[in-house]
Structure 1
Amino acid sequence: MRIAFYAPMKAPTHPSPSGDRRVAQLLWRALEAGGHEVTLASDFRAYDGAGDGDVQQALARRGADIAAALIAEWQAGSGAARPDLWFSYHLYHKAPDWLGPPVCAALDIPYVAAEASYARKQTGRAYAAGLEASLHAIARADAILSFTPEDQEALQPVVKSPACLHRMAPFLDAAPYRAAYSDRQRHRAVLAQRHGLDINRPWLLSVAMMRPGDKLASYRLLGRALNLIADPPWQLLVAGDGEARVHVEEALRPIGDEYVFFAGKQDAEDLIAFYAASDLLVWPAVNEAFGMVLLEAAAAGLPVVAGNWRGVSEIVASGETGILIGPWDDVDFAEAVVELTRDNKRRIAMAEAAAARAESEHSMTAAVTVLNRALEAACALRRQARQ
């Protein structure tokens, strides 16, 4: 099929790396691997981070203009250019889909969404316009793929049919991570020289953008927890950058400069070596839906200590591939880090289990199967609606 792809939160071509961009790129690759021709409908970013009603209305007007232009182009063009299906990734009250529903209505094509969410508590609040637009898109959808049970449960009362809901495990292509892990010692030597790390000590790794809100809250919790550990045997490698960097540095400074090393922003490809070379990923994951970083770490054979927020347990099997800590528990987080940095045998067993789980439950192959099944169901539902 010819698929028009759109990500209202962040396009797969956006210059700033993030989990959102990463998942958008992976979905694009999975759709192509499923035999489909994928084109970017628009790189229009519909995100309002401040809950400003005027901003939301301006975004709605801009979205309506873009949708009208797409409709005119595709209705006037040849059949070869017209999409057979619209696919939107990550729509919610802060970044609703102003494009997909009107385009699909005008062209009479199926509308499919992945990681759509509905927060009823936002009714009548600052994001009311975005929530209403998201609800309209969700109700219009012929298929919705959810990465977490939490999202799927919240959608059940507002979809047009339970048959529209499809469960999909977060996924990636594990091959590059496996290859990097098999070359772990070389990656470790390179990073040790580049960042001044001691190759003979355990390396903790954190990977995240440095921005206000949940990410900064995670960094602050990480700083508090690691600062509880006296005379640590490890060193912490921090990969990430952003507008809140000064606050992140402040949060981690009490640990000691001799223990914390900042690597700055890294591309997804470069991060693979960081995962493979490290000994333990540490990330509180405050309010994260599931966290692509956790899945990438697992694929590279890196166990984790993480906060048990939302869908994190979909990625991390606590006690098997890492240790999950209750939200905001600095003491338990520190104790888990101490436990796994001291117990090499257990940490290595978790590393092997994490890599195996990523391969068996979160593979690109499995994602392609689920995606194609959902697309077929969406097309069937749209055909029924035409009768």
Structure 2
Amino acid sequence: MKLAFYAPMKSPDHPVPSGDRRMGRLLRSALEMAGFEVTLASGLRSFDGKGDPAFQAAVKTQGAKEAAELIRKWRDRPDDAPDGWFTYHLYHKAPDWIGPEVCRALDIPYIVAEASHAPKRARGDWQTGFEAAAAAIASARIVFHMTTLDGACLKPLMSPGNALVMLPPFIDIDTYLERAVPVDTAAAMAAAGGRRGVKTLLSVAMMRGGDKMMSYRQLGESLARLGGDDWQLLVVGGGEKRPEVEAALAPLGGRAVFLGAMTPEQVPAWYDMADLYVWPAHGEAYGMAFLEAEGCGLPVVAGNIRGVPDVVRDGETGLLTPPGDAAAFADAVEILLRDDDRRRAMGEKAREFVRRERTIARAAALLKSHIGGVL
């Protein structure tokens, strides 16, 4: 069975890495593991982060053009036509102007994953995208939601007979670890000004504006409340906002150690050597790095926000704190830093959680069951 795959937020072939691109690639791999023949239908990026009506109108026009070309191509060559259309990450800032048109014309099912619906955007700069995304979601035969919160928001849009299915965030942990490369973490840490013989906190995140920058600010505010000099924070990441990140973490003094940007293959070595993963997760949909850290046996302290509870089990694989509560975040870090037994137990639970419940094989089986039934 053939599936056309499209990601209006960011194509899985986009050159800039991100958690969104990573999940898009994982979903495509999971669909292939499930036995579907997957073809990337378009690389058109409809994402509008500024609320620009002119940009939205231009993308709508381009989307209609691409939809017409695909319809013409597949009508001329029906043997190449897909049996269904799968859109990943659909919402008001990244509507799908292609898939619904193609599905109506070819009479094939429209399927979406990680859709979201925010009624507060019904008016304002993203009204056009909001209306298009809502109509697309309502037309979908299956809507896979990846967080409990998204599921509750999407439920009012579901048409009778269409399915709303929880597809929890997942990773291919075996492949991720197989691709890992050896890193002399002690030497690299020393070269960056880090210390041996102290407890080590770790954060892995791009240094960019918006939600990432807000998390870095919250991280600095929280960790500045910790006493003692027997710990350090290692920061893996790079980007145009590094000066602002350094300023946000300046209250930590020499306890903040900047390791710079790394390839995905280098990061597992740092998960292995750290004692605790910390990230406030301001504005995060759920956070792929949490699953990577947990899959490597590293417990987490994070903000209890949006989809984070769907990837971090509070009290089991880590501790979640109220969003933006610097004192609570600092207390949670302090608790786990001072309790070696509890921290190690959480690390083992985290590893088990990812390997038992958040594997690509489990996702593939769920996708096969639901999509196969519709097709």
TM-score (norm 1): 0.92
Q: Distance in 1 between matches of 2:292 and 2:265?
A: 11
State the alpha-carbon separation in 2 of the partners of residues 41 and 284 from structure 1. Answer: 36
1:232 to 217, 229, 234: 229
Count of aligned positions: 375
Measured after TM superposition, the shift of residue 137 of structure 1 is: 0.8
2:201 maps to what in 1? 204
**Native 8 Å contact 2:140 2:162 kept in 1:** no
Gaps of 5+ in 1: 380-387
SS in 2 for 1:203: strand
Residue 197 of structure 1, CA deviation: 3.0
Alpha carbons of 1:180 and 1:84: their partners in 2 closer, same or farther (altered >3 Å)?
closer
State the shift of 1:239 in Å.
Answer: 1.6
* Structure 1 Cα separation of the partners of residues 351 and 176 of structure 2: 9
Which residue in 1 is equivalent to 2:317? 321
Cα distance in 2, alignment partners of residues 9 and 173 from structure 1: 22
CA 1:177–1:340: 2 relative to 1, 3 Å = farther
CA contact (8 A) 2:35 2:368 kept: no
Q: What is the rounded CA distance, in whole Å, between the counterparts of 1:71 and 1:179 in structure 2? A: 41
Aligned-partner SS, 2:202: strand
Query: Which residue matches 2:61?
Result: 61
Measure, in 2, the Cα distance between the counterparts of 1:75 and 1:223: 57
Q: CA deviation at 1:304?
A: 0.6
Structure 1 counterpart of 2:251, one-letter code: P
CA contact (8 A) 1:321 1:354 kept: yes
Asked if residue 374 in structure 1 is aligned to residue 370 in structure 2, the reply is yes
Name the SS of the counterpart of 2:266 in structure 1: helix
Query: How many angstroms does 1:2 deviate by?
Result: 1.4
The offset of 1:190, in angstroms, is 5.7
- The residue identity in structure 2 corresponding to 1:82 is A
- Counterpart of 1:151, as a letter, is D
Please give the residue correspondences for 1:341-356 in structure 2 after superposition, counting only pairs within 5 Å.
341-356=337-352
The residue identity in structure 1 corresponding to 2:25 is Q
Describe how 1:97-136 pairs up with structure 2 within 5 A: 97-136=96-135
Structure-2 residue corresponding to 1:270: 266
1:108-146: CA deviation from partner (whole Å, max 9, x where unpaired): 111110001111111121110000110111011111101
Contact 2:171–2:359 (Cα < 8 Å) also in 1: yes
Alpha-carbon distance in 1 for matches of 2:311, 2:9: 23
- Report 1:74-85 matches (<5 A): 74-77=74-77, 79=79, 81-85=80-84
Contact 1:305-1:322 within 8 A present in 2 as well: yes
Describe the SS at the equivalent of 2:157: coil
1:166 aligned counterpart, secondary structure: strand
In 2, Cα distance between equivalents of 1:366 and 1:32 = 13
Alignment root-mean-square deviation, CA: 2.0
Question: Residues 131 and 344 from structure 1, CA distance in 2 versus in 1: closer, same or farther, beyond 3 angstroms?
Answer: same
Q: In the alignment, what sits opposite 2:211?
A: 214
Structure 1 pair 373–359 and aligned structure 2 pair: CA distance change class (3 A): same
1:281 has 2:280 as partner: no
- Residues 350, 51 of structure 1: alpha-carbon distance in 2 compared, 3 angstrom cutoff: same
Q: Which amino acid aligns with 1:325?
A: T
SS at match of 1:221: helix
Alpha-carbon separation, structure 1, partners of 2:283 and 2:82: 36
C-alpha separation in 1, matches of 2:331 and 2:152: 34
Tell me the SS of whatever aligns to 1:15: coil
Equivalent runs, 1:1-387 vs 2, <5 Å: 1-77=1-77, 79=79, 81-161=80-160, 163-176=162-175, 188-189=185-186, 191-192=188-189, 195-256=192-253, 258-379=254-375
Instruction: Mark the runs of 5 or more structure 2 residues left unpaired by the alignment.
Output: none
Question: How much does 1:350 deviate?
Answer: 0.7
One-letter code aligned to 2:282: V
Give secondary structure in 1 for the equivalent of 2:249.
helix
Which segment drifts farther, 102-111 or 67-76? 67-76
Give the TM-score of the pair, scaled to structure 2.
Answer: 0.95
Contact 1:30 / 1:368 at 8 angstroms: preserved in 2? yes
Identity across matched positions, percent: 47
CA 1:312–1:93 in 2, change beyond 3 Å: closer, same or farther?
Answer: same
Seen in structure 2, the aligned counterparts of structure 1 residues 176 and 349 have a Cα distance that, compared at 3 Å, is farther
Contact 1:12 1:25 in 2 (8 A): yes
Give per-residue Cα distances to partners, 1:358-383, cap 9 Å, x unaligned.
1111111210111112212332xxxx
Q: Secondary structure at the match of 2:89?
A: strand
